[in-house]
Amino acid sequence: MAQRPLQRLPPAKRPSESALALLRAHRPRPVATCRDLLGLTMTELAEICDLKTSDAAQLYQRVCSAVYAVSVRAQNVKDLYHSQMEPRASIALSSGHHALDTALGGGIPRSSVTEVVGAPGCGKTQLCLTLTVRTALPLNLGGTDGHVLYFDTEGAFSATRLQEITAHIIELQGAIASPDLLATVTDRVHVASLDSVQQFRERLRSLEGFIVQHKIKLILVDSIAFIMRRHLNQRASEESGPLGDVLHKRPRLAGDDRNTLPDLLTWEASSLKHIAETFSIPVVVTNQVTTRFARPRVLGVPSMSDIDIHEDGLSTSAALGNTWAHLVTTRLTVRTLASPETGGLPSLASTGGAVHRPIVVARAITIAKSPIAPACQFPYVITPAGFGEALVNLGPPEVPPPASPRRGSRPSPLVSV
């Protein structure tokens, strides 16, 4: 709550517009959040806002009561239990994967931040597009009849793919994907491209009015790691030093000086959580993975938490470190299962110049962190209708032994599906 911008406080607690303007214009450091204001002395606050000492004391008391008003927000267990036992449609957003939705208590939870972690090509963006369509669909087609705000940091958003997923999901619901219906759904998706952390912050600060105006029911950030890594790389190039040397230095980001990597992540996560809780909507962010050459250790013991160990000894884990991992409420990891026989992705096998059968790429989604669900794994597929449930458990792919090709024949080319 201390990180909350002053302009987001309730009207009764918020400084006047003139005081807000003076606080924002203060140099060398603007006073933008509750923590900034509460860190001032009474004399400093009175001088900055051009107030009497008594008026400055009242303003300080109002902001302090807004930050530390714990008793106002407290609920008993009985009320919490009944609120959590509301009908499924009101507390979660269906992902289209029945088993995953059941394990998560109905789907992607509202009023919290859900993270999807995976390597490139595993289906993170496909899951985001599927959630987008299922939010924008009308109620009679299994949707929420709401609008979606999609933050695209990688430039990977495809309007063509979104329309394809929309058409197939509509047809799976037994309806006709007419041009008018497709236009209705796609008109509810608002895409915002982000080029910098500063731009992301500016969007978050002015987001509440946009949510109310457009009746936003889902917010996605694809991906949070890309924009943070770009920011760190820019800092490294500007300071002409290795990336690791600038992780704990404070960059000069306009409007705030709490810009070490942990502070940046904390601000972003707390802002997204505040939006999710205030408007009771799900917020979904995607994250990349990073490669380690040695397993992380905890008290000298190799840690296997949220790690995929490969045969060559390398391991991958979610980017942005432990600080970010503790800030998200739910973490889902997606991955492509490797084939022991081929050492990589499965492919078609050829027998005597004839194709035996296609081997579908096996994918798995894991609930790595959740306040209500145990750690469990489910197979999934990427189809023309987007992210969906695999009909059978795709274990290690079965590759038949190769046969000797007939004389004069050429082996069929290997094709990946």
Residues 117 and 211 in one domain: yes
Residues 93-152: pLDDT tens digits? 999 999 999 999 999 999 899 999 998 889 999 999 999 999 999 999 989 999 999 999
Q: Given this model, what pLDDT does residue 90 score?
A: 54
Query: CA-CA distance, 100 to 184, in Å (whole number)?
Result: 28
Question: Where a domain ends, among 49, 72, 95?
Answer: 72
Question: Where a domain ends, among 286, 307, 334?
Answer: 334
Q: Give the distance between the most distant pair of CA atoms in the chain.
A: 99
What's the CATH number where 213 sits? 3.40.50.300
Nearest to 149 by CA among 206, 88, 90: 206
Alpha carbon of 287 to those of 28, 103, 154, 318, 363: distances in Å? 34, 22, 11, 7, 17
Query: Is 371 a member of any domain?
Result: no
Query: CA-CA distance, 78 to 399, in Å (whole number)?
Result: 55
Alpha carbon of 175 to those of 64, 97, 138, 235: distances in Å? 54, 20, 12, 51
Q: Residue 154: CB partners within 8 Å, gap ≥ 6?
A: 222, 223, 226
Query: Is 395 a member of any domain?
Result: no
Tokens read off for 334:
């997606």
Query: Is 98 a member of any domain?
Result: yes
Helix (H) or strand (E) holding 83: helix 77-84
Is the pLDDT at 305 greater than 80? The verdict is: no
Residues 114 and 60 in one domain: no
Residue 342: pLDDT band with limits 50, 70, 90: very low
Q: Given this model, what pLDDT does residue 236 score?
A: 61
Residues 249 and 274 in one domain: yes
Is the pLDDT at 254 greater than 80? The verdict is: no
3-state secondary structure of 26: coil
Query: Residue 344: beta bridge partners?
Result: 339
Q: Which domain holds residue 34?
A: 6-72
Query: Is 374 a member of any domain?
Result: no
Query: Is 245 a member of any domain?
Result: yes
Query: What is the pLDDT of the chain when averaged over all its residues?
Result: 77
Residues 167 and 201 in one domain: yes
For the residues 148-157, what does the mean pLDDT come to?
91
Query: Is 202 a member of any domain?
Result: yes
Residues 237 and 99 in one domain: yes
Residues 19 and 97 in one domain: no
For the residues 73-81, what does the mean pLDDT come to?
63
Residues 65 and 91 in one domain: no
For the residues 356-384, what does the mean pLDDT come to?
83
Kindly provide the b/e burial profile for residues 352-377, where b requires at least 16 CB atoms within 10 angstroms of the residue's own CB: eeeebeebebbbbbbbbbbeeeeeeb
3-state secondary structure of 40: coil
Q: Given this model, what pLDDT does residue 40 score?
A: 84
Is the pLDDT at 222 greater than 60? The verdict is: yes
Residues 205 and 278 in one domain: yes
Tokens read off for 417:
């599906």
Question: Where a domain ends, among 28, 50, 72?
Answer: 72
Q: Are 363 and 335 in contact (CB under 8 A)?
A: yes
Query: CA-CA distance, 29 to 84, in Å (whole number)?
Result: 42
Q: How many domains does the chain have?
A: 2
Q: Given this model, what pLDDT does residue 240 score?
A: 55
Residues 379-409: pLDDT tens digits? 999 999 999 998 654 444 344 444 444 444 4
Query: Is 415 a member of any domain?
Result: no
Q: Given this model, what pLDDT does residue 405 score?
A: 46
Query: CA-CA distance, 394 to 397, in Å (whole number)?
Result: 7
Residue 348: pLDDT band with limits 50, 70, 90: very low
Query: Which amino acid is present at 366?
Result: T
Q: Are 182 and 110 in contact (CB under 8 A)?
A: no
- Comparing 145 with 297, the larger pLDDT belongs to 145
Alpha carbon of 4 to those of 97, 162, 205, 369: distances in Å? 36, 34, 10, 26
Query: CA-CA distance, 14 to 177, in Å (whole number)?
Result: 48
Q: What is the DSSP letter of 107?
A: S
Tokens read off for 314:
């390398």
Could you list the beta-strand ranges (E) of 142-226. 147-152, 189-193, 216-222
Q: Given this model, what pLDDT does residue 53 score?
A: 81
Residues 198 and 274 in one domain: yes
Query: CA-CA distance, 315 to 309, in Å (whole number)?
Result: 5
Residues 165-207: pLDDT tens digits? 999 999 999 999 999 999 999 999 999 998 888 888 888 888 8
Q: Given this model, what pLDDT does residue 404 score?
A: 46
Residues 38-63: pLDDT tens digits? 888 888 888 899 888 888 888 888 88
Q: Are 65 and 13 in contact (CB under 8 A)?
A: yes
Query: CA-CA distance, 111 to 93, in Å (whole number)?
Result: 11
Is the pLDDT at 249 greater than 60? The verdict is: no
Residues 91 and 50 in one domain: no
Residues 209 and 306 in one domain: yes
Residues 313-330: pLDDT tens digits? 556 778 787 778 888 899
Q: Given this model, what pLDDT does residue 152 score?
A: 92
Query: Is 391 a member of any domain?
Result: no
Tokens read off for 254:
């306009």
Residues 67 and 108 in one domain: no
